[in-house]
């Protein structure tokens, strides 16, 4: 005989079950009658299957904050490089946990995500919010997979973005920068302008990565907070060297370890590099720029010289062409050359020869004996 009931005791809903001559009484996790009825059905199903109904054994969906902490210490550490780990930790701590932290993973809905976006839109630009949403989405997808959550996954719509603007140095500004650079910074600036390496890649550059005879650099690592790690794309790429770069590297006194070390032979710190590039900009009388602008300058000058976007993409190490296409508008005659490929090769044969005012007068040709137009518009 089975007896089943839900009842309210001291303002709390309880499930009271008798099954196989044993009584089970448990407080409902959701303090409503509907929640108690659902909990009763869950417990009954567990009893029928011979499973325990102890509260500790009933699977509960964790709060976002608790799962996110576990996710950081497992998935993120195992799959992301240190800079990405720091970025995700910061986004969770500053933005996501204060808003979603006390909400159960399965209770994060599309509406709650939209409310979150609305609270951020006045303080942050759309790209920054999209970065936060990307971390939220990845964390939730891992949770749904690991915890086997059956509720509908929330729709996370990124903000629409306008193509980002970027700045680069003209050839004259590059010359001024090199003219006023001193010590190790002059060599670093030249290499950055002629190879497109990121600052982290410059700082992690080792002599084992350079073949001066073949005039090639193998970009294998990137420096972050004094520790070398993988490149942004996690791939090794080869960059050819100009004669200028080969000459500069050939006369450097150190030929072991880091190419651009500090006084102790250790890797230069990124904050020191950032401070010095601003100092040199001031000396050169040009606007202050970051090291990444030298990378943009490398790409822009290649595009203006007519180098194909595919080659620029490979030199920059972009995993997709979307980032590289920012430079396409600098390429001379790119669209004109493409449209001109549609020109008819047998135009004269089909339409005759135009003379004078070309949109009005056309001269008959022998091959168009039946042409009777004299004032073609």
Q: Is the pLDDT of residue 36 over 70?
A: yes
pLDDT tier at 377, thresholds 50, 70, 90: very low
Select the more confidently predicted residue: 285 or 42: 285
Among 108, 14, 12, 109, residue whose Cα is nearest residue 62 = 108
How high is the pLDDT of residue 351?
A: 75
How high is the pLDDT of residue 326?
A: 76
Q: Is the pLDDT of residue 288 over 80?
A: yes
Q: d(Cα 58, Cα 41) in Å, to the nearest integer?
A: 13
Is 332 within 8 Å of 348 (Cβ atoms)?
A: no
How high is the pLDDT of residue 337?
A: 66
Q: What is the dihedral sign for C-alpha 237, 242, 247, 252? A: negative
pLDDT tier at 372, thresholds 50, 70, 90: very low
Average of pLDDT values for 20-31?
Answer: 84
Which residue do the tokens 């915890």 mark? Answer: 147
Is 264 within 8 Å of 217 (Cβ atoms)?
A: no
Q: d(Cα 352, Cα 347) in Å, to the nearest integer?
A: 7
Average pLDDT, the chain: 85
- Give per-residue pLDDT as tens, 124-145: 999 999 999 999 999 999 999 9
Domain annotation for the chain: domains and CATH numbers: 3-57 (no CATH), 64-147 (1.10.150.130), 171-330 (1.10.443.10), 344-377 (no CATH)
Q: d(Cα 26, Cα 3) in Å, to the nearest integer?
A: 14
Q: Is the pLDDT of residue 57 over 60?
A: no
Say which DSSP state 222 is in.
Answer: E
Select the more confidently predicted residue: 357 or 98: 98
């Amino acid at each position: 005989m089975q007896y089943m009931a839900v009842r309210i005791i001291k303002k709390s809903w309880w499930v009271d079950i008798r099954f196989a001559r044993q009584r089970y009484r448990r407080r409902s996790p959701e303090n409503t009658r509907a929640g108690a009825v659902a909990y009763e059905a869950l417990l009954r199903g567990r009893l029928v299957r011979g499973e325990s109904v102890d509260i500790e054994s009933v699977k509960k969906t964790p709060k976002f904050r608790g799962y996110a902490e576990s996710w950081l210490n497992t998935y993120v550490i195992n799959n992301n490089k240190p800079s990405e780990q720091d970025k995700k930790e910061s986004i969770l701590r500053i933005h996501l946990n204060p808003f979603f932290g006390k909400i159960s993973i399965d209770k994060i809905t599309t509406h709650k995500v939209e409310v979150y976006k609305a609270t951020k839109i006045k303080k942050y630009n759309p790209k920054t919010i999209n970065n936060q949403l990307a971390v939220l989405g990845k964390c939730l997808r891992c949770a749904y997979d690991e915890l086997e959550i059956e509720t509908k996954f929330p729709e996370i719509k990124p903000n629409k973005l306008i193509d980002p603007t970027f700045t680069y140095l003209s050839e004259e500004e590059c010359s001024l920068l090199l003219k006023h650079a001193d010590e190790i910074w002059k060599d670093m600036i030249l290499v950055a302008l002629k190879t497109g390496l990121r600052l982290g890649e410059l700082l992690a550059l080792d002599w084992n990565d350079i073949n001066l005879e073949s005039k090639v650099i193998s970009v294998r690592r990137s420096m972050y907070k004094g520790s070398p790690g993988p490149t942004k794309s996690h791939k090794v790429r080869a960059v050819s060297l100009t004669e200028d770069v080969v000459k500069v590297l050939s006369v450097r006194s150190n030929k072991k370890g880091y190419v651009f070390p500090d006084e102790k032979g250790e890797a230069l710190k990124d904050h020191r590099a950032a401070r010095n590039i601003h100092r040199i900009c001031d000396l050169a009388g040009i606007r202050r720029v970051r090291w990444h602008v030298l990378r943009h300058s490398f790409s822009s000058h290649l595009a203006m010289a007519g180098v194909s976007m595919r080659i620029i993409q490979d030199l920059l190490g972009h995993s997709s062409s979307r980032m590289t296409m920012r430079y396409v508008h600098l390429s001379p005659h790119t669209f004109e050359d493409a449209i001109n490929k549609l020109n008819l090769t047998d135009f004269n044969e089909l339409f005759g020869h135009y003379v004078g005012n070309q949109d009005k007068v056309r001269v008959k040709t022998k091959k168009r004996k039946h042409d009777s137009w004299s004032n073609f518009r």
